Each structure stands twice: as C-alpha cells, then as structure tokens.
Amino acid sequence: RPRVFSGIQPTADSFHLGNYLGAVRHWVALQESHDAFYCVVDLHAITAGHDPKVLLQRSRVAAAQLLAVGLDPEHCTLFVQSQVPEHTQLAWVLGCLTGFGEASRMTQFKDKSQKQGNERSSVGLFTYPVLQAADILLYQANAVPVGEDQRQHLELSRDLAQRFNSLFGRTFTVPAPHIVKATAKITDLQDPTAKMSKSSSSPGGIVDLLDDPARSAKKIRSAVTDTGREIVFDETTKPGISNLLTIYSALSGRGIDDLVSAYVGKGYGDLKKDLAEVVREFVTPIQQRTRSYLDDPAQLDKLLAAGAEKARAVAAPTLRTAYERVGFFPPV
C-alpha cells in the first residue's frame, strides 16, 4: 500500500474549518487506501513562544479531535511528534543540505517572521520547513495531504529527498503533495483574501470545530461579503460568498451549482443562516466525541504512545540507513 504522512500543529485550542476541509478530511479518507501516518507536530508548535501546560493540553485536544473526526488507530498510525526522536535527528542532516537562501525564500517564514518582527523571530521558525521535510521523509511517504499553503514546503521536501539521494545514494521516497483544489484554501471570514489560520486570523475570521455553534453562527452572520446581492460562485469578484459556498458544499455534500440554483432569488442572509445550521449539525457530534476522548486522558496517552511505537518502527530504520549513508559512526 502506498504511504501517506501528514501533521497538524497544536497551536490553538481547536482546529478550524480550514484545517478540517483542507487537510484532515482527506486524512480520514486516505487511511482506508493507504498506509497512513498522522502526527500532532508539537515540535513545530514552539517556534513562536508557548506555555508548556497549554501546549501539553493542546496536543491532547488535537489528538482527541483527530479521533473524533474519524481517524481510527486500527487503520492509521496516530502519534505525537516529540515522542519520536528520529524527527529531530534527521532534521539536522537535512538542514545541512538546505541552502540559507533557499530557506529564506519560504513565504510562510517571511510572513510569520515579519509579523513577529524579524529580529525577534526564532531560528526554529526559520528551520521549520527542514523539520517538516524530516517528518515526511522518515516514513518514505508517497503522498502528503495538505492545504495549498503547504505547497512550497512540500517542494522543499521533494528537493531535499532528491538532493540526499543523489549525494549519498537512493534513500528517500520523493513525496508528492496531495492537495484537493476545491477546499485547499478556506479563507478568513473577515478577510477573504487571507487563509483562515490558527495563529494569525482574528477570532472573528475563524470557525473552530470546538466552538459553541451559536458563536460560530454569529461569526458566519458577520462574515465579510461582497458587493451585489446575487449568490454566485466567483472567487475573483465574490471571494467572500465563494468561500461560504465552498464550506457549505464541502460540509453538506451538495455541489456548488446545486447550491447556487437553490439560492436564486434569496439573499446573503439566507445563505449565512443555513450555513450556520449546517456547521452546527457538523460540529455537534464531533464536540461530543472529542469530550469523551478527553474524559479519559490516560487512555488517550496510551493510545498515542502505542502510535509512537508503531511510528518509530518505521522511522528508526530509515534514520539508521540515512546516518550510515552520510558516514556517521555505527549505532552503539
């Protein structure tokens, strides 16, 4: 079976609809057809400062949400990144193959470091895409289900795999991005030109899976919409309405065309009201299941530890081979 790998950061108290529709929904589907490795990437979550207690709790909540939306430990390997030390061990080697200029061109680094003030942003934020490449290459992943914002990082992972292979002999599978266009960039409700983001959207711009549906309804009602009153799908002239239609379509399973014809003669308010209801129906059972996983943290931790063991069984041999190829001393 082909392999997939993907990860998500525990950088907020909840995942948002962009995370779910752009990535995690595909993780759930791919666990049936692929040998799937999914990771709560807590190492990635400390690049911009954090509170240790909050991080630990968010990692658990992240894992609970992934289980609640349908990841099944019998069908995939779900684990927390910091429990598999091979990720950082390979990252060093890959970092030495990455050009300074090459890393400097990563647009996510440029955006995030600018927001933090360039002088204050961490070296970890800079080398983040190198650690991400290690995450992926350790598992010899063929495909990586992610949102559009990760395309450039994926390109770097591919380049690093090819570079290592040509310098030291064929070691890594070159991973392909798995980006499903229709929902690859869910936008911020308050700024339809920006992606919905855990760390940089304003609270009003995000619909969180774990948020009170009444609060989400209010956010959807206040979403920035476009001039005119017709409900049509056009990402250039009507980015706000198109984003709402995209979310509506993905959550309800109804086609965009079907929705557009159903709303002929109706207004933005009608669409928003109905979308809020679709969101409420979608998140309610997810919230219940998330809570029930969190009710038994010992059981959850046990499940994650078992996942980490399964992950290490794949990651450790890859690292061993890579270290040998590089010319490091044999393991003791």
**Dihedral of the CA atoms 19, 21, 22, 24 (nearest 10)?**
60
Q: How far is the CB of 97 from ligand ATP (least distance, A)?
A: 24
DSSP structural state of residue 23? I
Q: How far is the CB of 196 from ligand ATP (least distance, A)?
A: 4
Residue 13 Cα to chain centre, angstroms: 14
* Residue 40 is a binding residue for ligand ATP (CB under 6 A): no
CA distance 221 to 273: 7
DSSP structural state of residue 327? T
Q: How far is the CB of 198 from ligand ATP (least distance, A)?
A: 3
Instruction: Reply yes or no on whether 53 is catalytic.
Output: no
> Can you tell me which of 3, 4, 5, 11 binds ligand ATP, judged by CB under 6 A?
11
Instruction: Reply yes or no on whether 273 is catalytic.
Output: no
CA distance 29 to 91: 29
> Can you tell me which of 130, 196, 217, 315 binds ligand ATP, judged by CB under 6 A?
196
**Stretch of residues binding ligand ATP (CB under 6 A), selected from 52-60, 196-204, 227-235, 242-250:** 196-204
Instruction: Reply yes or no on whether 185 is catalytic.
Output: no
In the chain, alpha helices (H): 17-19, 25-33, 52-68, 86-95, 100-104, 107-116, 123-137, 151-168, 213-221, 239-252, 256-262, 268-294, 297-326
**Stretch of residues binding ligand ATP (CB under 6 A), selected from 130-138, 191-199, 290-298, 304-312:** 191-199
Cβ proximity to ligand ATP, 60 vs 185, nearer residue? 185
Q: Which two tokens stand for residue 86?
A: 């091979």
CA proximity to 254, closest of 238, 268, 266, 271 = 271
Q: How far is the CB of 317 from ligand ATP (least distance, A)?
A: 26
* Residue 149 is a binding residue for ligand ATP (CB under 6 A): yes
* Residue 147 is a binding residue for ligand ATP (CB under 6 A): yes
> Can you tell me which of 18, 192, 205, 240 binds ligand ATP, judged by CB under 6 A?
18
* Exposure string over 41-54, b if 16+ CB within 10 A, otherwise e: bbbbbbbbeeeeee
10: burial class by Cβ within 10 Å (0-12, 13-18, 19+)? Answer: buried
**Radius of gyration of the chain from Cα atoms?**
21
Cβ–Cβ under 8 Å, residues 34 and 81 = no
* Residue 200 is a binding residue for ligand ATP (CB under 6 A): yes
* Residue 242 is a binding residue for ligand ATP (CB under 6 A): no
* Residue 23 is a binding residue for ligand ATP (CB under 6 A): yes
> Can you tell me which of 84, 184, 210, 245 binds ligand ATP, judged by CB under 6 A?
184
Q: How far is the CB of 295 from ligand ATP (least distance, A)?
A: 25
* Residue 47 is a binding residue for ligand ATP (CB under 6 A): no
Q: How far is the CB of 38 from ligand ATP (least distance, A)?
A: 11
- Which residues are marked as active site? 112, 195, 198
Which parts of this chain interact with ligand ATP (CB under 6 A)?
A: 8-9, 11, 18-19, 22-23, 146-147, 149-150, 184-186, 195-200
